[in-house]
């Protein structure tokens, strides 16, 4: 098999080889797609991630509950006056991830804090009403969050995220 | 792999590795420089095809295992949800399930090729025995894989095959209990079968490495059956064999894709779309087509232990072939008698396959015994005798001589023998088909379905009307446990919007709970809910229906079938006809007659239906003219209702049918293009070799 000519000027044979190789390569690339795509959440998992409704009436002031949405724990805290004030009267400049308390709760519903209870460091679950700021404390690596779920101390880089939610009525929220 | 490699990398990094682990040299000498006889025909590409199929089965199998649940209560549902919910799950499952059949199809051609050309003879005995071991491992793996979906045929197949071991004298029952891990086939059995089904392919891969190693030590056999002597007799593996194999693989993929995209259930048993039920045995327990010859041998012997011994003996005898056939001439091409007897043996094997699918009665038993005798006679009597008395024709001096002597007639023989093999395979499949035909009764008339054929699509109007008929009529007794309300809004479905599907769901009451108080409660349905069954469990359903159990309808169109008779299955393969289920269901709905024909005694509480097996059905006539109001002006007749609801049930059985057919078309266009390109590339490459 001598294709010495191919280096200088391409021949029809080279074209055939390149065309065959390219078609095979395209086929291989497309074949990989379903093999990767199957790892994504399936239709039933996506359907199970539909919004959930939570009734707030049983949560007394100073209490919090944990609900699950899309496999994630969501803390719903009924904050006391003192906690709300503590959250509001913080110099934003002193925060690692500056965010006013008003951006983390719904207007007119200051007493309700809804956050995804997953430490933004490495995904552990912080404990409520613990730590120096009476907010959340993650025992794994010592991240401390305040009563607004903002990071104050420790290795976590950002505040606890607020999930999408709306007030259906004064005593009921829909998460998702 | 024989001798030290002359592979010399130039790149310093590669040199560094090669000095410490000569893997590239190994690859080079095995798959690049390896001398290949230049007269190999396309039967030799099945080795490459088999390597590819093993890879495909392992890859898709590992992926399916990510989604499958090996539990007796969940296995069937998990398989259905793979097909319905997992992204491209239907594709992966079709590849894996049809792939098993393709794997065996290829291995049989590979084995018959070895038999014909004497590939088992000195110095390739170990190579051959390793092949027999691989085949045994494949059979075990295939059987255990078939059990995993936990359908009726899976469950009863497992029961029957494990009971084979009860034939062992004295220890039989203990061995069977050991295999089951219980008092009957159950969850422990399923669990260990899953574990072993995952493990064995890797064992096969290990033995395949030995098989290829032995091959590369002894060198490949070839159609002339003479060893290469000079450099003129061989060509380097790459690019010659590589390109030829690539072309062969591409052709095989076309054949494979035909099944994956257009005939996915052609090779499977409809019974396996019914969840396993330890209380009911299917009318016919038939293994997959690739085990039928051995099943026939098992049933031919009227003694339990002897039958089992004969069945295993039929495979083990292959391992002794190198010593049973002592002829000096390898290839049957030069053995006029052996050649004829070889083809008779092929016919015997196909005949056994056909008989394996027939009910074991009457003439089938007698013919089965004759063929079983002929099968063993071929190995134990004919080949030893033949190798002593036959006078073979002279073999060519060298492979080069063989190539030069070739005339143009070769291609024609090849094509005709491949066609003959395919027809034979079809016969086998047809045999499996007719095993289900014994119920009798008139054949349901073939209906025209919008979803039939490679370009078929669901008729949206029919789906919507069918849903209405289901809801107003069928749903009072039957559930659709594998269909969620959200499916109504998915592509390929009845074409409702998400809001419409949610509204439809909310009309249903769904049992939920327990709540904080520990109570079950009812709430309106949500899109993520599945169509509920009107009964809490099977017992309640039976109690409300005079003892008959209204089956879940999600899979009814796939779980029903009827025999198509002799030449039809071949035509079915080419026309991609797979609408037996829908035809049957539509016919059943219209097959009611008020008065049973004279001489037919209808059992108490039954109704006469000419299409139901035995003609006595417990379900009263469900449809009558004018029962459901249609808004779109379609006639409100039983025929229309039956057709619409069957169309709807077809969609519930396979919601991704349209995606399957659409992707199939793209794959075919691609594969045809690739095959043509590979053909010309192969031709160009081989032009250098002549």
Report residue A100: phi and psi, to 5°.
Answer: -70, 155
Whether the link from the prior residue into A68 is cis, omega within 30° of 0, is no
Question: A47, A51, A52, A176: which to substitute to probe chain B, counting the most B Cβ within 10 Å?
Answer: A47
**Does the distance separating the beta carbons of A24 and B674 come in below 8 Å?**
yes
Distance from CA of A32 to the nearest CA of B (A): 11
A38 and B89 within 8 Å at the Cβ level: the answer is: yes
Question: Average pLDDT of B306-314?
Answer: 95
**Closest partner CB to A37 (pick from B59, B66, B87):** B87
Q: Do B486 and A47 touch (CB under 8 A)?
A: yes
Mean of the pLDDT values across residues B615-623? Answer: 92
Q: What is the pLDDT of residue B283?
A: 84
Over residues B105-125, mean pLDDT: 96
CA terminus-to-terminus distance, chain A? 65
Confirm if A65 and A56 have CB atoms less than 8 A apart: no
Cα–Cα dist A125/A119, whole Å: 6
Contact list, A37 vs chain B (CB under 8 Å): 87-88
What string of DSSP letters covers B234-296? EEEIIIIIHHHHHHHHHHHHHHHHIIIII-TTTTS-GGGGSB--TT---S-----GGGHHHHH
- Residues of A annotated as catalytic (active site), given as ranges: 141
Taking the Cβ of residue B486 and every Cβ of chain A, the question of whether any pair is shorter than 8 Å is answered with yes
Provide the pLDDT for residue B357: 87
State residue B689's pLDDT score: 80
In A, minimum Cα distance to B530 occurs at A44
| pLDDT for B410 beyond 70 | no
Best of A15, A18, A19, A23 to disrupt the B interface (most B CBs within 10 Å) is A23
Most confident of B15-19, B136-140, B529-533: B136-140
Nearest CB to B528: which of A16, A40, A48? A48
Which residue, among A78, A24, A71, has the nearest Cα to A45 in the 3D structure? A71
Distance between CA atoms of B442 and B587, rounded to whole angstroms? 10
Determine the pLDDT at residue B252.
97
Provide, as residue numbers in chain B, all residues whose Cβ is less than 8 Å from the Cβ of A27: 670-671, 674
Contacts of A35 in chain B (CB under 8 A): 59, 63, 92
Summarize the confidence of residues B287-291 as an average pLDDT: 94
Q: What is the block-wise mean pLDDT of chain A (176 residues), using blocks of 10 residues?
A: 56 91 96 95 92 93 93 95 92 92 93 95 94 92 94 95 95 93
Torsion (CA) B663, B669, B675, B681 in degrees, nearest 10: -120
Q: What angle separates helix B638-653 from helix B580-590, to the nearest 10 degrees?
A: 150
Q: What does the alpha-carbon distance between residue B508 and residue B533 come to, in Å, rounded to a whole number?
A: 11
The dihedral formed by the CA atoms of A7, B243, B131 and B196, expressed in degrees to the nearest 10: 90
pLDDT in tens, B34-58: 999 999 999 999 999 999 999 999 9
Cβ(B99)–Cβ(B256) below 8 Å:
yes
Cβ contact, residue pair A44, B673, below 8 Å: no
User: Is A35's CB within 8 Å of B63's CB?
Assistant: yes
Please check whether residue B345 is in contact with residue B380, taking contact to mean a CB–CB distance below 8 angstroms.
no
Among residues B274, B254, B258, B276, which one has the least CA distance to residue B266?
Answer: B258
**Chain B residues whose beta carbon lies within 8 Å of the beta carbon of residue A15:** none
CB pairs under 8 A between A and B: 73
Task: Give the one of B87, B484, B684 whose C-beta lies nearest to A16's C-beta.
Answer: B684
Q: Give CA–CA dist B544/B564, Å, rounded.
A: 35
- Give ipTM to 2 decimals: 0.86
Distance from CA of B615 to the nearest CA of A (A): 40
Chain A residues with beta carbon closer than 8 angstroms to that of B484: 44, 47
What average pLDDT does range B309-334 have in this prediction?
96
Q: CB–CB of B239 and A48 under 8 A?
A: no
User: Residues of chain B with pLDDT > 90: what percent?
Assistant: 80
Residue B141 burial by Cβ neighbours in a 10 Å radius (0-12, 13-18, 19+)? buried
Cβ contact, residue pair B674, A23, below 8 Å: yes
DSSP E strands in B451-529: the ranges are 480-484, 509-512, 521-524
Confidence of residue B438 (pLDDT cuts 50, 70, 90): very low
Which chain B residues are within 8 Å of A38, Cβ to Cβ?
63, 66-67, 86-89, 92
Contact of B552 with B479, CB cutoff 8 Å:
yes
Nearest CA in chain A to B91: A34
CA A18/CA A10 separation, integer angstroms: 11
Predicted pLDDT of residue B395: 93
Closest by Cα among B564, B312, B560 to B426: B564
Whether residue B276 contacts residue B71, with contact meaning beta carbons closer than 8 Å, is answered with: no
Best residue in B86, B92, B689 to probe A by mutation, most A CBs within 10 Å? Answer: B86
Query: For chain B, how far is it from start to end, CA to CA, in angstroms?
Result: 26
Q: Which of A16, A19, A42 sits opposite B87 (nearest CB)?
A: A42
CB–CB contact A20 B89 (8 Å): no
Q: Is A34 in contact with B674 (Cβ distance < 8 A)?
A: no
Which chain A residue is nearest to residue B677, measuring alpha carbons? A20
Instruction: Please determine, for residue B415, whether its predicted confidence score (pLDDT) is greater than 80.
Output: no
Q: Nearest 5 degrees, angle CA B512-CA B516-CA B519?
A: 50
pTM score of the predicted model: 0.92
**Measured between CB atoms, which of B67, B88, B673 is closest to A34?**
B88
HSE-up of B16 (CA within 13 Å, CB side)?
3
CB contact under 8 A, A20 and B484: no
- Residues from chain A contacting residue B86 (CB–CB below 8 Å): 38, 42-43
Tens digit of pLDDT for each residue in B232-253? 899 999 999 999 999 999 999 9
DSSP annotation string for A107-140: TT-TTEEEEE---TTTS--PEEEETTTTEEEETT
At residue B443, the pLDDT reads 84
Residue B83 contacts A where some CB pair is shorter than 8 Å: no
pLDDT per residue as tens digits for the range B150-161: 999 999 999 999
Band the pLDDT of B440: cuts 50, 70, 90: low
For position B467, what pLDDT does the model report?
Answer: 97
Query: Nearest-CA neighbor of B377 among B443, B324, B445?
Result: B324
pLDDT, one tens digit per residue, over B543-589 is 998 888 999 999 999 999 887 776 777 888 899 998 999 999 999 99
* pLDDT band at B408; cut points 50, 70, 90: very low
The CA distance from B102 to the nearest CA of chain A, in Å, is 19
Strands A112-116 and A165-169: unpaired
Q: Which of A35, A38, A44 sits opposite B81 (nearest CB)?
A: A44
C-alpha B502/C-alpha B508 separation (Å) is: 10
For residues B511-539, one letter each, b for 16 or more C-beta atoms within 10 angstroms of the residue's C-beta and e for the rest, the string is: eeeeeeeeeeeeeebbbbbbbbbebeeee
Q: What is the mean pLDDT of residues B399-405?
A: 86
Residues in chain B closer than 8 A to A14 (CB atoms): none
**Beta carbons within 10 angstroms of residue B568's beta carbon:** 17
- Give me the sign of the Cα torsion angle B232, B236, B240, B242: positive
Query: Inter-chain contact B85–A42, Cβ cutoff 8 Å?
Result: yes
Q: Is the dihedral of CA A83, A85, A88, A93 positive or negative?
A: negative
Instruction: Encode B273-301: b = buried (16+ Cβ within 10 Å), e = exposed.
Output: bbbbeeeeebebbbbbbbbbbbbbbbbbb
Minimum distance, in Å, between the CA of residue A98 and any CA atom of chain B? 39
Distances (CA, A) of B182 to A72, B72, B177, B188, B404: 40, 13, 6, 7, 64
Chain A touched by B527 (CB under 8 Å): yes
């Amino acid at each position: 098999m001598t294709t010495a000519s191919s280096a200088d000027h391409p021949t029809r044979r080279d074209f055939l080889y390149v065309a065959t190789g390219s078609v095979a390569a395209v086929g291989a690339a497309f074949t990989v797609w379903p093999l990767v795509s199957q790892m994504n959440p399936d239709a039933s998992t996506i359907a199970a991630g539909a919004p959930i409704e939570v009734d707030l009436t049983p949560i007394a002031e100073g209490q919090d509950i944990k609900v699950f949405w899309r496999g994630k724990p969501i803390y719903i805290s009924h904050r006391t006056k003192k906690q709300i004030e503590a959250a509001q009267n913080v110099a934003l400049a002193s925060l690692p991830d500056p965010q006013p308390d008003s951006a983390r709760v719904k207007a007119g519903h200051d007493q309700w804090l809804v956050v995804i209870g997953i430490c933004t460091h490495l995904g552990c679950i912080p404990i409520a009403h613990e730590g120096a700021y009476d907010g959340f404390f993650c025992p794994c690596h010592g991240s401390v969050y305040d009563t607004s779920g903002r990071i104050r101390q420790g290795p976590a880089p950002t505040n606890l995220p607020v999930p999408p939610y709306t007030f259906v009525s004064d005593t009921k929220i829909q998460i998702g | 792999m024989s001798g030290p490699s002359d592979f010399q990398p130039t790149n310093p990094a590669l040199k560094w590795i090669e000095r410490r682990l000569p893997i590239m040299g190994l690859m080079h000498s095995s798959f690049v420089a390896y001398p290949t006889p230049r007269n190999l025909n396309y039967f030799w590409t099945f080795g490459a095809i088999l390597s590819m199929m093993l890879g495909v089965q392992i890859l898709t199998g590992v992926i399916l295992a990510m989604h499958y649940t090996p539990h007796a209560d969940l296995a069937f549902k998990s398989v259905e949800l793979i097909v319905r919910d997992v992204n491209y799950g239907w594709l992966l499952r079709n590849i894996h399930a049809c792939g098993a059949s393709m794997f065996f199809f290829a291995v049989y051609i590979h084995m018959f090729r070895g038999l014909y050309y004497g590939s088992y003879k000195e110095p390739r005995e170990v190579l051959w025995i390793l092949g027999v071991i691989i085949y045994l491992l494949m059979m075990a793996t295939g059987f255990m894989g078939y059990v995993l979906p936990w359908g009726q045929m899976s469950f009863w197949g497992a029961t029957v095959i494990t009971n084979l071991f009860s034939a062992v004298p004295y220890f039989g029952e203990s061995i069977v209990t050991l295999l089951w891990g219980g008092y009957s086939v159950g969850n422990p059995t399923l669990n260990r079968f899953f574990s072993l089904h995952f493990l064995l392919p890797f064992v096969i891969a290990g033995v395949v490495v030995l098989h290829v190693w032995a091959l590369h030590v002894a060198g490949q056999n070839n159609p002339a059956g003479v060893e290469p002597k000079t450099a003129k007799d061989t060509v380097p593996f790459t690019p010659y064999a590589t390109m030829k194999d690539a072309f062969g693989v591409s052709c095989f993929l076309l054949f494979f894709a035909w099944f994956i995209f257009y005939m996915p259930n052609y090779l499977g048993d409809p019974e396996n779309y019914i969840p396993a039920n330890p209380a009911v045995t299917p009318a016919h327990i038939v293994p997959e087509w690739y085990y039928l010859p051995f099943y026939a041998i098992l049933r031919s012997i009227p003694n339990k232990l002897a039958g089992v011994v004969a069945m295993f003996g039929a495979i083990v005898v292959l391992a002794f072939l190198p010593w049973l056939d002592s002829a000096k001439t390898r290839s049957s091409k030069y053995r006029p008698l052996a050649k004829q007897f070889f083809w008779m043996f092929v016919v015997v094997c196909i005949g056994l396959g056909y008989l394996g699918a027939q009910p074991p009665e009457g003439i089938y038993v007698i013919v089965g015994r004759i063929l079983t005798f002929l099968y063993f006679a071929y190995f134990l009597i004919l080949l030893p005798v033949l190798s002593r008395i036959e006078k073979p024709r002279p073999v060519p001096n060298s492979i080069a001589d063989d190539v030069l002597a070739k005339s143009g007639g070769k291609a024609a023989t090849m094509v005709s023998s491949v066609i003959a093999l395919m027809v034979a395979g079809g016969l086998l499949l047809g045999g499996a088909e007719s095993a289900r035909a014994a119920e009798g009764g008139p054949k349901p008339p073939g209906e025209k379905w919008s979803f039939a054929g490679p370009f078929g699509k669901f008729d949206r109007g029919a789906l919507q009307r069918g849903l209405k008929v289901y809801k107003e009529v069928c749903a009072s007794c039957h559930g659709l446990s594998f269909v969620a309300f959200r499916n109504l809004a998915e592509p390929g479905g009845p074409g409702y919007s998400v809001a419409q599907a949610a509204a439809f769901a909310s009309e249903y009451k769904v049992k939920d709970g327990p709540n904080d108080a520990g109570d079950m409660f009812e709430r309106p349905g949500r899109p993520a809910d599945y169509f509920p069954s009107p009964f809490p469990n099977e017992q309640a359903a039976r109690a409300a229906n005079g003892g008959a159990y209204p089956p879940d309808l999600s899979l009814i169109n796939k779980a029903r079938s009827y025999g198509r008779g002799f030449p039809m299955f071949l035509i079915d393969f080419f026309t991609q006809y797979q609408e037996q289920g829908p035809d049957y269901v539509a016919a059943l709905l219209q097959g009611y007659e008020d008065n049973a024909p004279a001489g037919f005694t209808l059992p108490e509480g039954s109704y006469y239906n000419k299409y139901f097996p035995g003609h006595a059905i417990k379900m009263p006539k469900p449809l009558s003219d004018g029962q459901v109001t249609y808004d779109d002006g379609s006639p409100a007749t039983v025929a229309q209702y039956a057709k619409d609801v069957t169309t709807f049930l077809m969609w519930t059985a396979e919601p991704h049918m349209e995606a399957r057919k659409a992707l199939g078309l793209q794959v075919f266009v691609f594969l045809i293009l690739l095959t043509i390109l590979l053909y010309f590339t192969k031709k160009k490459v081989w032009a250098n070799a002549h």
